Structure 1
Amino acid sequence: MIVTPAPWADRPVEVGLVGAGPWARAMHARMLAAGPETRLAAVWARRSEAARETAAPHGAHVAASFGELLDRCEAVAFAVPPAVQAELAPQAARQGKALLLEKPLGPDLMAAQRVADAVLGAGVVSQLVLTKRYHPVTEAFLDAARTREVSGARSCYLHGAFLGGDFATGWRLEHGALLDLGPHLLDLLDLAVSPITGIRSTGDPRRWIELTLEHENGAVSQASLSGSVSVPRALTRVELFGPETPLTYDTAEIDHEECWPILRRTFATAVRANEPTDLDAARGLYLQRLIDQAARATR
């Protein structure tokens, strides 16, 4: 069931959306236009027709350029490939715009570093769209995990989206599951077990990659990642083991519609308070360092 948020007392954050692909239409535009914490002020994409199709259902302005988009908003949401985000997000930050960023921050560590540096240098609010982190089930799992002594963990994030369809896009097919799915699972394991201190990996991220993670508390965890396997629905599962009964997190039954109001409220609250959240660009850079370490370990 979708939880109705408390009344929003402040004016909505005017957000410009960069991108007009399937994810921009299905999530970003719809979420930002729903308010009351945000208003979809404008949409810009390199394909103008796609931008019009994304903006029209919500009555948003179609910007003719990225510069025009920046003139019409106080925050920018990105729903574009990592390389495009890494190119444009620093420009928006330098213009004083708050940033709602997709993961990964960039296609590689150097690009991610530039995004994080721009955010830090400009002193703007940033927030990552790590979808599952905004679901109450995830929050409850992480709260429970903090009370546990964890000796080891095993986890997976598996789906078949790379086999065909809207999300079998160029950057995902090139880089595979590590860059696309890795941030989600690494973030959860890093928080649920303890900070990750070492990574070993085997396999091919375009088919199946297996990670062995060493943690600060001495625990070891396993992570299986693939976007190229035929499964009835996406599988995201984390199991924690130790002296107590295992603690399991499984997203099979969660309704992702419950994430969007929480994500929107968290972002708008951070923008209005001008205070960073724990899911900011710095967290994105931390996760990208882990991804880079894992990628290097497979070579």
Structure 2
Amino acid sequence: MRFAVLGSGFWATEVHAASLAEHPDAELVGIWGRDAGKAQAAAARYDVAGTDDLDALLADVDAVSISVPPAVQPDLAVRAAEAGCHLLLEKPVALSVADADRVVAATAAAGVASVVFLTFRFRTSATTWLEQASRSTLVGGSVTWLASTFAADSPFRGSVWRAEPGAPLWDLGPHALSLLTPVLGPVVAAQGSRAADGTVNVILEHEAGPTSTLTLSATASPLSAGEEFWVHGDAGRLVLLPEEGRTAHLAHAVAVTELQAAALTGGAHPCDAAYGAEQVRVLAAAEAAIAAGARQRV
């Protein structure tokens, strides 16, 4: 399958393009960017074309791997779907329910496959953890993710959208939901608060009765930074252990393979655009709950 990467920033270049360039069953054809010079510089690393001509690149590929700010992604995804390209999307799919629904409608109308690159869902350790959790009777779970997004050595320190007040919820929340909802069930309501330093605390109510909590920060001290994921029930507390090494590259390669399989079979992937839109509904409800200081239905 011939792929284009849409985006020329750090994540697009170091993960999406790098993964595709190494993939045994995919071909990286080109890189698109809003700035032609940046796109060409990124593409030169992989000896492919760099361009700001989106339509020309879409006409030359079977699929796109999108890595742009979430406010930019929906329009690109819709254009790619309308051009008949399968979609490997970044999280969150969009920053509004309306935009997320546009992406879902475009994929359905075009009959193209879609996968949202929720990194943890394509890691072996998380797959094993989810299988173990699915065999338990669970009553709740918790995700704590304290990130130092703007530290001097962070590759995301210049990210404009991550500097917005709601960014911890929209940047880290999709990862949390991707691990909690498969085993605790769909989220039906949310409530939450934001601390003075921007840390977000959210309580989620799941359809069958379990509850879960999220503590998410983009401004934690590097000494405090880290991630904790666990669920609990009749089998005790199941903790997801971290993986070391090039986990993002390996996870992206798995996502590419699974997108190709979905395109071949015509089946829906568990992390498709529709699932991404479900996440956006939960995140929008959580954001509204924080703003209102009151419980919100999803």
TM-score of the superposed pair, with normalisation by structure 1 = 0.90
- Matched residue, 1:211: 202
Given that 2:137 and 2:233 are in contact with CA atoms closer than 8 Å, whether structure 1 keeps it comes out as: yes
CA deviation digits over 1:82-136, x for unaligned, max 9? 1211121111111111011001111222211111111122111111010111001
Given that 2:63 and 2:87 are in contact with CA atoms closer than 8 Å, whether structure 1 keeps it comes out as: yes
Aligned pair partner of 1:166 in 142, 149, 155: 155
- Matched residue, 1:262: 254
Aligned pair partner of 1:230 in 221, 226, 230: 221
Amino acid across the alignment from 1:287: Q
Aligned pair partner of 1:283 in 240, 265, 275: 275
**Are 1:73 and 2:26 an aligned pair?**
no
Given that 1:160 and 1:231 are in contact with CA atoms closer than 8 Å, whether structure 2 keeps it comes out as: yes
- Matched residue, 1:295: 287
> 3-state SS of the aligned residue for 2:74?
helix
Runs of 4+ off more than 4 Å: 252-255
The equivalences for 1:3-14 within 5 A come to 13-14=1-2
Given that 2:200 and 2:216 are in contact with CA atoms closer than 8 Å, whether structure 1 keeps it comes out as: yes
- Matched residue, 1:105: 93
Given that 1:235 and 1:252 are in contact with CA atoms closer than 8 Å, whether structure 2 keeps it comes out as: no
Structure 1 residue 59, shift from structure 2 partner: 1.6
Structure 1 residue 194, shift from structure 2 partner: 2.3
Given that 2:41 and 2:50 are in contact with CA atoms closer than 8 Å, whether structure 1 keeps it comes out as: no
How has the CA–CA distance of structure 1 residues 217 and 64 changed in structure 2, closer, same or farther, with 3 Å as cutoff?
closer
How has the CA–CA distance of structure 1 residues 111 and 162 changed in structure 2, closer, same or farther, with 3 Å as cutoff?
farther
TM-score of the superposed pair, with normalisation by structure 2 = 0.90
- Matched residue, 1:177: 168
Structure 1 residue 15, shift from structure 2 partner: 0.5
User: What value does the CA root-mean-square deviation take over the aligned residues?
Assistant: 1.9
Distance 1:269 1:232 in 2: 41
Q: Which moved more, 1:283-292 or 1:143-152?
A: 143-152
Q: Which moved more, 1:241-250 or 1:278-287?
A: 241-250
Distance 2:197 2:18 in 1: 30
Given that 2:140 and 2:231 are in contact with CA atoms closer than 8 Å, whether structure 1 keeps it comes out as: yes
- Matched residue, 1:8: none
Given that 2:185 and 2:206 are in contact with CA atoms closer than 8 Å, whether structure 1 keeps it comes out as: yes
Given that 2:189 and 2:206 are in contact with CA atoms closer than 8 Å, whether structure 1 keeps it comes out as: yes
Q: Which moved more, 1:224-233 or 1:186-195?
A: 224-233
Given that 2:5 and 2:66 are in contact with CA atoms closer than 8 Å, whether structure 1 keeps it comes out as: yes
Structure 2 segments unaligned to the other structure (5+ residues) = 292-298
- Matched residue, 2:238: 247
Instruction: Report the identity percentage.
Output: 30
Structure 1 segments unaligned to the other structure (5+ residues) = 1-12
Structure 1 residue 192, shift from structure 2 partner: 2.4
How has the CA–CA distance of structure 1 residues 64 and 255 changed in structure 2, closer, same or farther, with 3 Å as cutoff?
closer
Structure 1 residue 216, shift from structure 2 partner: 2.1
**Are 1:47 and 2:15 an aligned pair?**
no
> 3-state SS of the aligned residue for 2:280?
helix
